[in-house]
Amino acid sequence: MSGCGFPPVRLRLASGLKSSEVVERLMVSQPEISHLENGRQLLRAGPRSGDAHQAQRARPPGS
């Protein structure tokens, strides 16, 4: 793949991660990763209110 473009894509590819792995590790949606990698969105720090994915990940095991 020549000239992968935007730096987040190059960083992900250099680390050997799939975008689905980045989604899981950063606890964001697939479209957010796509937008970030295509330069259409900035990554925000901290959880967002009302984010079901965040709420699910924050629950202790077995609850």
| pLDDT tens across the length of the chain (63 residues) | 444 556 888 888 999 999 999 999 988 899 988 888 888 877 666 665 455 555 555 555 565
Report the candidate in 2, 8, 3 with the shortest Cα–Cα distance to residue 39.
8
- Residue 2 is predicted with a pLDDT of 43
Residue range of the domain that includes 22: 7-43+50-58
Number of domains forming the structure of the chain: 1
Question: Is residue 29 a part of any domain in this protein?
Answer: yes
Burial of 3 (0-12, 13-18, 19+ CB in 10 A): exposed
Instruction: Note whether residue 24 is domain-resident.
Output: yes
Q: Would 11 be classed as within a structural domain?
A: yes
pTM over 0.75: no
Q: What are phi and psi of 56, to 5 degrees?
A: -65, -45
